[in-house]
A and B are shown apart, each in its own frame.
Chain A
Amino acid sequence: MKPRRTHRLRDMAREREGFRSRALSAFAIVLVCFVVLIWRFVHLQIFQHEEYTTRSESNRVKIIPRPSNRGLILDRHGVVLADNWPAYRLEIIPEQVDDLADTLERLADIIELGQDDLEKFRELRMARHSFQSIPLRLQLEEVEVARFSVNRHAFPGVNVVAYQTRQYPFDHSFAHVIGYVSRLDRSDLNRVDAREYVATTHIGKSGVERYYEAFLHGKGGRQQVETNAQGRVIDVLESEPQRSGMNLHLTIDAVLQLAAVEALGDRNGAVVALDPATGEVLALVSAPSYNPNLFVNGISTRDYRALLDSPDQPLFNRALQGGYEPGSTLKPFMALAGLELGEIDRNTIVNSIGYYQLPDQARRYHDWNPGGHGPVDVVEALAQSVNVFFFRLAVDLTIDRIHDYLDDFGFGAPTGLDLYGEISGVLPSREWKRAHRNLPWFPGETVILGIGQGFMVTTPLQLANATAAMANRGRMVQPHLLRAVENPQSGVLQYPEYPSTTVPILDAENWQLVIQGMEGVVHGVRGTARAIAADDPPFRIAGKSGTAQVYELKEGEKYNAEEVAEHLRDHALFIAFAPADAPTIALAVIAEHGGGGSSVAAPIARKVIDAWLKAPIADDQVISFHDPKVQLRREMR
């Protein structure tokens, strides 16, 4: 596109001359402006210099940001899981110390000073001014504070300063739920409003501490203070108070959580327990765990290395990041799919002869019981975990229908729990295999999917969530950890609402049949986990055991737990809910390399269910950290 030509002939020379005169007059204006500016600076810097020097020297008003109090984190009954404890730190104002080296040496006699402390101090000294106070030691012991107070006169320029530090009273037990706070660094400032964090030293780095940072942090305040020329505060003129962070009431039940930790014992694994009616997470354990208190005031390099290098991966949250094959715990969902989609009914009988073969294929898919289980219906197939029944069912259902049905139970997608880092797992389909393996779906893969093997990957949280849906007869509430947000000033509690979805129900009878099968697992004469109900408990448990293969057997090879190294041993799984007719708890247990689901994982589930049902705490009952129920559990760890 070209500008329109003018009709008049243009006079280049005249234009150039015209521009020249305009440019020169512009420069004249520029010079005049600079003269005005220079005059202004001369005026300020020469004529008013003395006045401003005086004002600069007596410049006493300064704005000091004040940190806000971080909100507490409590369990559903008010037990404090993350607390703020008053602490003392030692600070030095270098300007007021005559001989720093000598002072440090003498201080070391009465207060323990590590190499780390001295290094951090030196680092900060370089970055700050000599009139600014620099922390030397955090979290002084009471005796140290006392010793220093007595000798204070000998240490001009050294002060003990009170501050608040985060404290996790239960050490390891809640680390994967609560997470931890740690020293704020530059990268953290990118995810928050930096202006609100001027005086803040700590920020949530993982777990609830991180997810709900915005609630917990509150808002920093400001103080206008009068200072002397060195910047030391003489008087507070005016202050804009800080707003404390919100207290968070979690859905977690501390007593149950401690019971689950105890039940899991030394095993690596996870326990996730939900209230099926509300989606509330009652317990979420991942073992091994770590002590979040280590992170609060700066974890030492050695401790951190140890955590990172441990083969047990204590920092890894197995409950939402661990992907496991569901194994036989998938069978109840497969059975339900078969019933609801009309492939089987309550009268369908399959004769288990010990193995299953696809038509025209030589490969045999084995039952765990070499001789087979004889003719079984769907209830018995669940109770005895009959593989052949489910091999056949899966083939009849086809991969497409299995995928679509299991999708409703939330498999293959994050549950949306209010913690960061949850994985989606895998709910395989033809499309999935094409996209991820670039291969078509093979019939044999449908067979083993019938018993939860092959490509399928679930997290303990997903399993617990799906079990809750089963317990709740189809209704699924978004699992969550946050029960209420409390304004610490007014004490007003706000309860967030969570969405729910429903698995489509064709015939409620079908659900009842599957649950009957799951009850058979625990209470049936031939139930795989009947050992955990040998004492005839006062409530009925619906459950299903499972075993996730870690190490693949070649055809014809036989698995023998005794012969396999522990790290290659199968993972033990158990899902359950109780009481079976009106469930108040649904859970998933995974014991890594535990071997059999019914022998190892089921007893753990039973202990957790006992803790929940045998000594229930009323929902509105408030208990404290010092409550014997809490302390007893705490000591038993």
Chain B
Amino acid sequence: MIAAQSLQRMSRRMFNRPRLDWPLVGLIMATVALGMVILYSASEGDSQLVIKQGVRFLIGLAVMFVISHLPPTQMRHLTPFLYVVGIVLLLIVAFAGVGTGAQRWLNLGVARFQPSELLKLSVPMMMAWYLHSRSYPPSLRTTLSSLVIVVIPAVLIYQQPDLGTAILVAISGLFVLFLSGLSWRLIISLAVAAAALSPILWNAMHEYQKNRVLMFLDPEADPLGRGWNIIQSKIAVGSGGLTGKGWQQGTQAHLEFLPEKSTDFILATFAEEFGLMGVLVLFSLYMLIIWRGLVIAMAAKDCYSRLLSGALVLTFFVYVAVNAGMVSGLLPVVGVPLPLVSYGGTSMVSLMAGFGVIMSIYAHRKFISSDR
């Protein structure tokens, strides 16, 4: 009896308060559903694969639900710890990781785990933790010292080598800086400095990374070799037209011209089969998710929550934009999956963990009375 009562009390605590932002949950679910429809087609009707993706989403939902019950204050206290753990894991991967060609994975026995996924969350968290108590807007000194938080993991991930993820992790940290009110003058001078440093970066890049950039600049130079992905992807998108070739009718994908058609290039399959109309629907969903996320960020009461949720939402946007830009030939091919749609486990779970943080900030918007 007592157990039943306490269970009841617990479930009341879990469900009575509005923990989840249902509009956001609905938008996420709609996007994932659309993703599974196209995944079925891209995998040549492999329902097993689709079920696997569904299971990953359910795991992601569970992770989101659990994290949404963690108060932001507690997250704030945990932040430095999570950040240090992430860095240590990156160091371990550098020395003991497994992977084909690149060292990115840690084998946990039951599952393989990519520590850089953890950093996608913990870098913006650490930035928000560092900046939330400093002067507003951050001074030049604060800005420069906060950059250390971004640079350390970015360099470690770049060493794996995984340029795409390194850039994304860095960007997620920089968004916090942007949202914390960094003056436009500083932003512009930093951008100029970065542009000046880019030749050095170019020299430090791996051969295959240079190839990707060169290929992006002129894909037709080597149409059967390194330019293959971009060209085939553009043909898939372009031949889709306004209304698309129809579900499971995409010849580009089904005749196996299109590489990575269910992972990084799934948007090309989508655009081929559902056309521009489909693309607009998908983009609208993404824009609504981003808008809803920013609304939650603006309603957050303390500075840490605000900065963190804002940065997470904007990072989500960058994933979408980079992937869509890559598929349509606007950006070079970097291995960034299309969030909530591409086939793959780690990115799905870490995305949902990010949404869990946003949900928690949403849930606690009324209960935190003071800024600190």
Contact = CB atoms under 8 A, between A and B. Distances in A.
A229 B328 contact: no
Interface string B252-269: 101111000000000000
Contacts of B298: 19-20, 23
Nearest to B297: A23
Interface stretch (A31-39, A98-106, A628-636): A31-39
Given A51-B238, A53-B239, A38 B283 contact: yes
A147 interface: no
A41 B328 contact: yes
Contact of B271 (A41, A59, A129, A231): A41
A346 B252 CA distance: 86
A10 B136 CA distance: 8
A23 B310 contact: yes
Contacts of A51: 238
A44 B238 contact: yes
Contacts of B130: 3
B252 A37 contact: no
Interface stretch (B64-72, B195-203, B208-216, B229-237): B229-237
B238, B251, B328, B330: most-surrounded residue (chain A CB, <10 A) = B238
A231 B255 CA distance: 7
Contacts, number: 149
A613 interface: no
Contacts of B178: 22, 26
A210 B291 CA distance: 56
Interface in A1-15: 1, 3-6, 8, 10-12, 14-15
B272 to A, nearest CB: 8
Given A42-B276, A46-B242, A26 B314 contact: yes
B241 interface: yes
Contacts of A14: 136
A582 B321 CA distance: 78
B328 A22 contact: no
Contact of B133 (A3, A31, A42, A45): A3
B26 interface: no
Nearest to B251: A56
A431 interface: no
B136 A15 contact: yes
A152 interface: no
A199 to B, nearest CB: 13
Nearest to B236: A56
B207 interface: no
A57 B291 CA distance: 40
A23 B308 CA distance: 12
Contacts of A45: 237-238, 240-242, 271, 275-276, 279
Contacts of B341: none
Contact of B294 (A27, A48, A59): A27
B45 A49 contact: no
A73 B28 CA distance: 56
B51 interface: no
Interface in B81-104: 100
B120 interface: no
Interface in A209-252: 224, 227, 229, 231, 238
Contact of A40 (B100, B239, B330): B330
Interface string B179-215: 1110000000000000000000000000000000000
Nearest to A48: B238
Interface in A45-68: 45-46, 48-49, 51-53, 55-57, 59, 61-62
Given A44-B237, A231-B255, A27 B290 contact: yes
A342 interface: no
B297 A62 contact: no
Contacts of B236: 56
Contacts of B5: none
A6 B135 contact: yes
B224 A62 contact: no
A18 B181 contact: yes
Given A10-B136, A59-B255, A22 B179 contact: yes
B100 A193 contact: yes
A42 B314 CA distance: 24
Nearest to A15: B136
B134 interface: yes
Contact of B325 (A26, A37, A61): A37
Contacts of B181: 15, 18-19, 22
B253 to A, nearest CB: 11
A229 to B, nearest CB: 7
A55 B231 CA distance: 10
A238 B223 CA distance: 13
B129 A62 contact: no
A326 to B, nearest CB: 37
Contact of B257 (A12, A42, A62): A62
B24 interface: no
Nearest to A7: B135
Contacts of B275: 45
Contacts of A40: 325, 328-330
B223, B255, B287: most-surrounded residue (chain A CB, <10 A) = B255
B132 A53 contact: no
A127 interface: yes
Contacts of B279: 38, 41, 45
B317 A30 contact: yes
Given A18-B136, A18-B181, A37 B324 contact: yes
Interface string A120-133: 00000001010000
Given A44-B234, A45-B238, A19 B317 contact: no
Nearest to B302: A12
Contacts of B133: 3-6
Given A6-B135, A18-B137, A45-B271, A1 B241 contact: no
B344 interface: no
B152 interface: no
A8 B135 CA distance: 8
Contacts of B307: 19
A261 B224 CA distance: 56
B287 A49 contact: no
Interface in B309-363: 310, 314, 317, 321, 324-325, 328-330
B179 A23 contact: yes
A46 B276 contact: yes
B306 interface: yes
A37 B255 contact: no
Nearest to B310: A23
A38 B241 CA distance: 13
B44 interface: yes
B239 A229 contact: no
Given A12-B371, A44-B234, A30 B330 contact: no
A55 B220 CA distance: 13
A27 B235 CA distance: 31
Contact of B235 (A33, A37, A55): A55
A93 to B, nearest CB: 14
B280 interface: yes
B334 to A, nearest CB: 16
B235 A59 contact: yes
Nearest to B370: A12
A127 B237 contact: no
Nearest to A47: B238
A26 B136 CA distance: 18
Interface in B32-57: 44-45
24 contacts: A3-B132, A6-B133, A16-B306, A19-B179, A19-B180, A19-B303, A19-B306, A22-B181, A24-B294, A30-B287, A30-B290, A30-B314, A34-B287, A37-B321, A38-B280, A40-B329, A41-B271, A45-B275, A46-B242, A49-B242, A55-B235, A59-B257, A227-B255, A229-B251
Given A56-B238, A62-B255, 9 more contacts: A1-B80, A15-B303, A30-B317, A40-B325, A41-B324, A42-B276, A53-B241, A59-B232, A127-B45
Report, nearest first, the 10 A-B pairs whose CB atoms are least far apart.
A52-B238, A56-B239, A3-B133, A44-B238, A45-B276, A52-B239, A18-B181, A49-B241, A53-B239, A40-B328
